[in-house]
Amino acid sequence: MKTKVKATLRTVVSVLQVHLKRLWPGHIPIAFKLALVMTLLLVLGMASLGLFISSNQNQLMRAQLHDFGHTMALQLAKLASEPILSEDSLHLRMLTANLGEDEKVLGAAIYAHNGELLSAAGIQPDPADTDFDSAGVIARPWFRRTADRPQERLISFIAPATYQDIRVGSVVVTLSASLMDQAAARARDAIVYATLAMTLLASLLALWLSRRLSLPIHHLMEATRAIDRGDLAIRINDRRNDEIGFLFEGFNNMAAGLLKKSQVEQVFSRYVSKNVADKVLANLDEVRLSSRPVEATVLFADIVGFTAMSEKLQPSQVSELLNEYFSYISGACSLYGGVVDKFIGDCAMLVFGVLEDDTDHAFNAVSCAVLIQRLAAQLNEQRRAAGLPQVHFRIGINCGAMLAGNLGSDDRMEFTVVGDAVNLASRLCSLAQPDQIIMREELFNLLQPRVIAQAEQTLSIRGKSAPVKIYSVQNIHRKFQPLLQTNLQEVLSCRANQQCRRAVGHV
């Protein structure tokens, strides 16, 4: 039974916690927090001040009432001492009657030494509860209850009547404490109403002031959100000579630094492959001369007869031609996971399997070469129709071990690959015919049957002691033709819309 009750309680507590979390806002504005804190401080201050004033006023009124009652009782006792001894009842009645005419005094009485009532006027306490043996003035609070009036709090002051230091009787003066209580209640109500009014005004003032104080923070928050959205040109134009002003200045300096950094990254990615730029910028603390052995594939694509072609063109036309074709080559390279190592005059050097792990880098390189030749063929149709000279590529591909990394000097370095496999790919490119892709026999055997190639003659290559048997790539297997055609259309449309940056990564 106890276990069930505990389980039920835990369930109820969990449900309450869930509901409280839903009701509690996820974001509380700082203006609301400031207004709440300022209002609480003002309310606490006003309440403390009101309590202090009310307490002091109550003490003052109580002291005044006791002083008045004490004085009146002593005065009556002094005047009544001789008439008590002489048993002058007329004089005693005059004393009580005259005292009763004071609106502050509700009752007055004179008692003999034995407690016998000699004269009385107004309201009197019960003699049985009255102490007539005190040596000094005493105050006795009591309550009067009537059927037609609410309960009234009274205070009777009892003083001894003495003649030549001999007690001859006692006097009683009764005052109303309810008047004092009513005055205290009115003062308390006035303080409460004043506190509530001041609280309302303080809340409005605190809300306005907190909004004014939090406005610069909202500006900073909006500017930070703009930075997060990529708007690095955002600036805060408020000029202040306080701490927030220094914060704004720091934010503007940070935004300017981020904008400059972004511009440097964009420019840097235009001089090297975007993948290389991202890798270098991601490890700025490790930029140093170093290299590592990799198994990768290198592709060289060279424009046939470019020297003779450039003699017939203006320098601006030569630059435009190279930029156009290198943009297509960069796009094709990126689609197959490669990176542009460098552009050497009219030759492009592409590498596959260096920056990213790619177990199929050799086939991707061959597919990229076929795509480049398809691009060149389609572009030549357009150039032929426009009466422009056609552009033909010769491509050499080789796969093998090489060193990849930052090479050069401490002042000038570049990320590239070097090695015998790279040199052989360059020489194969120089031996290829226009519109031809050639590679070694070992690479063709590795890629069968995905690559369709034709055996060529064995060539003697400078720097190689043994002749190299080469194959001329005709196409790739029909299973991979749909992807090749899709990539072809993507590169062409991307270039046509001037939106190659994301697809090709390097323009």
Domain ranges of the chain: 53-183, 230-268, 287-505
The pTM (predicted TM-score) of the whole model is: 0.51
Q: How long a stretch of residues is the chain?
A: 507
Mean pLDDT rounded to a whole number for the chain: 81
| pLDDT confidence tier of residue 64, bands split at 50, 70 and 90 | confident
Judged by DSSP in three states, 433 sits in: coil
Only one residue has tokens 């063709």, namely 444
pLDDT at 503 over 50: no
Structure-block tokens of residue 199: 């609280």
Q: Residue 171: CB partners within 8 Å, gap ≥ 6? A: 73, 76, 77, 80, 108, 109, 110, 111, 158, 159, 161
Mean of pLDDT values over 291-319: 88
pLDDT at site 280: 57
- 77-133 residue pLDDT tens: 899 888 888 888 888 889 888 887 777 888 899 898 888 888 988 888 888 777 777
Per the model's pLDDT, the better-predicted residue between 213 and 175 turns out to be: 175
Per-position b or e across 412-435, b if 16+ CB within 10 A of its CB:
ebebbbebebbbbbbbbbebbeee
- 491-500 residue pLDDT tens: 988 766 654 4
pLDDT at site 506: 37
Judged by DSSP in three states, 450 sits in: coil
Angle ∠(352,354,358) on CA atoms, nearest 5:
65
CATH class, domain 287-505, is alpha beta
| pLDDT confidence tier of residue 501, bands split at 50, 70 and 90 | very low
> Distance (Å, rounded) from C-alpha 488 to C-alpha 368?
10
Q: Comparing 190-204, 212-226, 266-280, 454-468, which segment has the lowest mean pLDDT?
A: 266-280
pLDDT at site 287: 44
Report the percentage of the chain scoring pLDDT > 70.
84
Structure-block tokens of residue 405: 């990394």
Mean of pLDDT values over 26-47: 71
pLDDT at site 504: 39
pLDDT at 448 over 60: yes
Per-position b or e across 461-494, b if 16+ CB within 10 A of its CB:
beeeeeebebbebebbeeebeeebeebbebbbeb
Helix pair 89-100, 30-86: axis angle to 10 deg: 160
pLDDT at site 19: 59
Fold for the domain defined by 53-183: Beta-Lactamase (3.30.450)
CB 451 within 8 A of CB 444: yes
Mean of pLDDT values over 218-240: 80
- 410-430 residue pLDDT tens: 666 677 889 989 999 999 999
Mean of pLDDT values over 28-47: 73
Only one residue has tokens 């401080």, namely 41
Give the residue among 347, 44, 25, 38 at the shortest CA–CA distance from 202.
38
Q: Comparing 147-151, 265-269, 354-358, 471-475, which segment has the lowest mean pLDDT?
A: 265-269
> Distance (Å, rounded) from C-alpha 6 to C-alpha 2?
6
- Strand order, beta sheet including 105-112: 117-122, 105-112, 166-176, 152-163, 138-144
Give CB contacts under 8 A, 24+ apart, made by 215-220.
216/240, 216/244, 216/248, 217/30, 217/244, 219/248, 220/247, 220/248, 220/251
pLDDT at site 47: 77
pLDDT at site 411: 63
pLDDT at 26 over 60: no
